[in-house]
Chains A and B, each alone.
Chain A
């Protein structure tokens, strides 16, 4: 009988057996509705930020005294104008550029540096571990917002200084996650087995360590993006981040806040943009965590 000769795994239609790990993850992500919605929203936001120079109907910094605080839906200004009469839609598009750069870069720097330092500290152990981890603890002892404000305050306003201060916030956080994941994996017997087969440190790290610690670190880093957006916007709000007249969501929120009694909707728009973007990142990282879980 032809049916009986089929190998069992050929009868399994699900994403189970013979698929590589990352393909399984991609498959799961593509079948998770919430993640898809969050991902699409994010793609839209990023795309609109990237294409801002072509999409924006007006110069984001050109204002008009006559047209200040036009309401949402005003003729020629769909999302109204701000307190200097600048077009809100254009400023939101341009502001997304600035906000995303200010928020994503520190997390990326934190991810790369933090993973390197954390894996090193975890794998080498001993004095190296003590030195690295206790140094990180010093930074970790300060609340994130306070640390960012303190460093930005010391360095002065401007985008590069914002990036530096936020990176200093995120590196220690990633280091801690990377170190604990590495210590946990290092103690497992498959690492000992690889050592027993004569593999050097490099080969063990490449084939056995990184593949197993990168997942948790990646998920953690993605959860930090929303925090980073809020911190970057917060620094601008306090006047420590991006300098006016550049458009940035946090800065827009700051300059518009006095107008909230004149027009309540327009000042809320940058806040809404921050909320939606950080929410989308949070949902995406949730989906990523679920998809990267190893299920028995």
Chain B
């Protein structure tokens, strides 16, 4: 899948450049798994989330949900499909309409799909209770009367009210305090089991990703550089970028603290990314050939894929054994 944003300017709004936000990302999500997507800010995670829900249209690529083509779905078909896939947003402040009470905010999606008002409100109140907010206390309140954690619970309730199969969580806990993060993560885990949900969990926080995910994609500048089970990635991160990500998580052991960050500088500009492997400008192992062509994502283990020329031998070995 691909999404390039045009940079427009001037009176005629002509595009003079493209931000390559998501470039050639391809993956499957299996029922009832949690797929974690991790990467620095600006690597295209949120764009990917919006592409998955077709809130923005991709420039190229396909999107299939349960065997059904999402990209080509007609308007009524799309409306029905939307019941099955929902999004939880990052910013608990911007994601709730300040003029709606919490029960109305949750019930809105049901009204859109034709549920009678009384029944919708009843369902909304029940769901508010399920996410840990007493509807008698919070149902008639407005978002500015709630804390960040409470708002995020309302967001989750709103996403769940249509009884979706897939939930895309775009940094659902990044804006919350550590203690509240844990509560919300646990709530998400409980709901997942209870309702047999499938999660696509997007975060920049490796600890959170490791905690919730069964499989993980590592993104860098709009591309997937490594993919594998959470265990495989944690035990033997292959791509130099993934290694740097793991190494930059602060250690609790004072003797193991580092003097220098393993990854310096900012990612290059997505308007004009480096040729070949996009990570080569910050990579300690960069070779001349890294600039020639981007390395393809190739399996280096049963459940592990990496896009790096350092693992050519491993990839060839895996390919030979198959």
Asked if A3 is at the interface (CB within 8 A of a chain B CB), the reply is no
CB < 8 Å neighbour of B144 from A127, A130, A294: A294
Is B141 in contact with A17, judged by CB distance below 8 angstroms? yes
B78 closest partner in A (C-beta): A198
Most interface-central of B96, B108, B155 (chain A CB within 10 A): B108
Asked whether A7 and B55 contact (CB < 8 A) given A193-B95, A295-B144, the answer is no
B170 closest partner in A (C-beta): A189
Is A18 in contact with B53, judged by CB distance below 8 angstroms? no
Alpha-carbon distance between A199 and B107 when the two chains are bound, in angstroms: 12
Interface size class on chain A is 20 to 34
Asked if B205 is at the interface (CB within 8 A of a chain A CB), the reply is no
Q: A190 to chain B: which residues have CB within 8 Å?
A: 94-97, 105
CB distance from B36 to the nearest CB of A (A): 21
Alpha-carbon distance between A203 and B109 when the two chains are bound, in angstroms: 10
Alpha-carbon distance between A124 and B95 when the two chains are bound, in angstroms: 21
Q: Restricting to A118-155, which residues have a CB under 8 Å from any CB of B? A: 126-127, 130
Asked if A16 is at the interface (CB within 8 A of a chain B CB), the reply is yes
Is A198 in contact with B94, judged by CB distance below 8 angstroms? no
Asked if A296 is at the interface (CB within 8 A of a chain B CB), the reply is yes
Asked if A27 is at the interface (CB within 8 A of a chain B CB), the reply is no
Asked whether A8 and B142 contact (CB < 8 A) given A188-B94, A198-B109, A208-B97, the answer is no
Is B94 in contact with A207, judged by CB distance below 8 angstroms? no
Q: Mark A11-38, 1 if CB is under 8 A from B, else 0.
A: 0000011101100000000000000000
Asked if B82 is at the interface (CB within 8 A of a chain A CB), the reply is yes
Asked whether A192 and B98 contact (CB < 8 A) given A21-B142, A198-B82, A294-B144, the answer is no
Is A196 in contact with B87, judged by CB distance below 8 angstroms? yes
Secondary structure type dominating chain A contacts: helix
CB < 8 Å neighbour of B99 from A18, A203, A212, A296: A212
Q: B78 to chain A: which residues have CB within 8 Å?
A: 198
B146 closest partner in A (C-beta): A296
Is B86 in contact with A203, judged by CB distance below 8 angstroms? no
Q: A294 to chain B: which residues have CB within 8 Å?
A: 98, 142, 144
Q: Mark A266-294, 1 if CB is under 8 A from B, else 0.
A: 00000000000000000000000000001
5 pairs across A/B with beta carbons < 8 Å?
A127-B13, A197-B82, A197-B112, A198-B78, A208-B97
Asked if B158 is at the interface (CB within 8 A of a chain A CB), the reply is yes
Asked whether A18 and B140 contact (CB < 8 A) given A193-B158, A196-B53, the answer is yes
CB distance from A134 to the nearest CB of B (A): 8
Alpha-carbon distance between A200 and B82 when the two chains are bound, in angstroms: 12
Asked if B162 is at the interface (CB within 8 A of a chain A CB), the reply is yes
Alpha-carbon distance between A196 and B170 when the two chains are bound, in angstroms: 13
Asked whether A130 and B13 contact (CB < 8 A) given A188-B94, A192-B87, A192-B89, the answer is yes
CB distance from B14 to the nearest CB of A (A): 12
CB < 8 Å neighbour of B162 from A9, A192, A195, A197: A197
Q: B112 to chain A: which residues have CB within 8 Å?
A: 194, 197-200, 203
Asked if A211 is at the interface (CB within 8 A of a chain B CB), the reply is yes
Alpha-carbon distance between A21 and B104 when the two chains are bound, in angstroms: 13
Is B83 in contact with A198, judged by CB distance below 8 angstroms? yes
Alpha-carbon distance between A130 and B55 when the two chains are bound, in angstroms: 23
Asked if B194 is at the interface (CB within 8 A of a chain A CB), the reply is no
Is B100 in contact with A193, judged by CB distance below 8 angstroms? no
Alpha-carbon distance between A17 and B134 when the two chains are bound, in angstroms: 14
Q: A199 to chain B: which residues have CB within 8 Å?
A: 108-109, 112
Q: B90 to chain A: which residues have CB within 8 Å?
A: 189
Is B55 in contact with A207, judged by CB distance below 8 angstroms? no
Asked if B257 is at the interface (CB within 8 A of a chain A CB), the reply is no
